Amino acid sequence: MSDKPYRLAVRAVIVDDQGRCLLIRRSRACKHFVGKWEWPGGKVDEGETFDAALRREVREETGLDVQPVGVAGAIGFEMDAARMAVLCMEVKLIGGNLALSEEHDKHVWVSLVELPKWDLTDGLGELARTLAAKHRQ
Amino acid sequence: MSDKPYRLAVRAVIVDDQGRCLLIRRSRACKHFVGKWEWPGGKVDEGETFDAALRREVREETGLDVQPVGVAGAIGFEMDAARMAVLCMEVKLIGGNLALSEEHDKHVWVSLVELPKWDLTDGLGELARTLAAKHRQ
C-alpha cells in the first residue's frame, strides 16, 4: 500500500440545458495525459475551500463562471508524488465566454449518455459510466 | 435551485481485515438524524486539509487513528444553512482504542455486503449500495 499523502482536487461537470456537458482536451503543454479529455478542474490550494477552487479552476481553464448545484461523485488516482481524491461537482453556467488556456486545445459538448465513449483522463471513466447510466433512467 | 453555499465534509469507511466496516449510531445529543447509523466523520474546518479533518473527526468520534487508502465516493445533501458535499474515504486502522464521544451511543462492525440493510444517515444509502455491489464482485 502507498503511503503517499492525499491531495484534494475538484472537477466541474458543466451541464447545459440540453443535457450535454463540456469536455476539454489536454494539450501538448501538459506533462501527463496529453490528448485525453476531461472536465475542467484542478488541485485545491492550501487554505482554499473546494468550491472557491472549483470556480477558480473553471475560470482559468475555460473562461466560464459556474456555480455548483450537486455532487456528481468522487474518484481516486495515484501520481508520482501524491495520491489524488477528486471531488466532481455538477455545476451550472452563470457567465463568461469560452476561452481555453494553453493546457487544453479543443472543447466539445457531449451528451451525458455518450460520455463513456470518450477517451477520458485517469479514473474519470468509471464516473462517466455512472453518470451516463443515471441520465438514461 | 438552492443558492445556499457548499461546505465540505469527510467520512471514513474503516475497513477491517475481514471486510467489515465500522458504523456508529447517532445519540440523543445530536440535533439531526438521532438513531441513524453512519461512518465517522464531519465538517472540514476552514483552512484544514480534507485528510487532516478525516483523521481529526475519526479520532474525536471513535478514539481510533486511521490513514486513508482509497476514495469510496461522494454524496451530497442539503441542510438548513448549507449544502454539504461529503467525500467518503476508505481508510485503514493504524492505532487507538475504540471509545465513542457523546454524539454516538453504539457501534457495530458490518460486512460491506450487508451495509444496505442498515438505517443510515441522509444520502449514505446510495453509496452503501454501490460499495456492497463492488464488494460482491
B129 pLDDT higher than 80 = yes
- A6 in contact with B at a CB cutoff of 8 Å? yes
Tell me whether residues A73 and B69 touch, CB distance under 8 A.
no
What mean pLDDT, rounded, does chain B reach?
93
Unique residue bearing C-alpha cell 449518455 = A113
The closest CB to that of A69, out of B1, B68, B92, belongs to B1
Helix locations, B22-76, DSSP H: 50-62
Show residues of chain A in contact with B85, CB under 8 Å: 50, 68, 71, 87, 89
Q: In this prediction, does ipTM exceed 0.85?
A: yes
Closest CA–CA distance from residue A34 to any residue of chain B (Å): 24
Show residues of chain B in contact with A86, CB under 8 Å: 71
B1 pLDDT higher than 70 = no
Closest CA–CA distance from residue A66 to any residue of chain B (Å): 12
Structural domain range at position A70 = 6-136
Testing the interface with A: which of B6, B48, B137 to mutate, by most A Cβ within 10 A?
B6
- Show pLDDT as tens, one digit a residue, over chain A (137 residues): 567 899 999 999 999 888 899 999 999 999 889 999 999 999 999 999 999 999 999 999 999 999 999 999 999 988 888 999 999 999 999 999 999 999 999 999 999 999 999 999 978 998 999 889 888 87
Instruction: Taking residues B20-32, report their average pLDDT.
Output: 95
- A52 in contact with B at a CB cutoff of 8 Å? no
- pLDDT score for B12: 98
- pLDDT score for A85: 97
| Count of the separate structural domains present in chain A | 1
- A94 in contact with B at a CB cutoff of 8 Å? no
Which residues are B88's β-sheet partners? B11, B73
Tell me whether residues B71 and A75 touch, CB distance under 8 A.
yes
More confident residue, B14 or A17: B14
Rounded distance, CA B76 to CA A87, Å? 11
Query: B71, B43 in Cβ contact below 8 A?
Result: no
Altogether, the residues listed in chain B come to a count of 137
More confident residue, A10 or B79: A10
Rounded distance, CA B44 to CA A127, Å? 24
Of A65, A125, A127, which Cα lies nearest the Cα of A97? A65
B27 pLDDT higher than 90 = yes
3-state secondary structure of B74: strand
Tell me whether residues B1 and A51 touch, CB distance under 8 A.
no
- pLDDT score for B50: 97
Looking at the domain assignment, is residue A1 inside a domain? no
Of A71, A73, A75, which Cα lies nearest the Cα of A123? A75
B120 pLDDT higher than 70 = yes
Instruction: Taking residues B113-132, report their average pLDDT.
Output: 91
Query: Tell me, what CATH number does A58's domain have?
Result: 3.90.79.10
Instruction: Taking residues B51-80, report their average pLDDT.
Output: 95
Closest CA–CA distance from residue B65 to any residue of chain A (Å): 15
Rounded distance, CA A61 to CA A45, Å? 16
Of B26, B21, B46, B44, which Cα lies nearest the Cα of B109? B21
Mode of pairing for the β-strands spanning A6-14 and A41-43: antiparallel
Looking at the domain assignment, is residue B99 inside a domain? yes
Cβ-based contacts under 8 A for chains A and B? 56
Of B124, B123, B103, B106, which Cα lies nearest the Cα of B115? B124
**pTM of structure:** 0.94
- pLDDT score for B122: 78
- B12 in contact with A at a CB cutoff of 8 Å? no
- pLDDT score for A2: 67
Taking the C-alpha atoms of B89, A54, A20 and B88 in order, what is their torsion angle to the nearest 10 degrees?
Answer: 10
Looking at the domain assignment, is residue B1 inside a domain? no
- pLDDT score for B42: 96
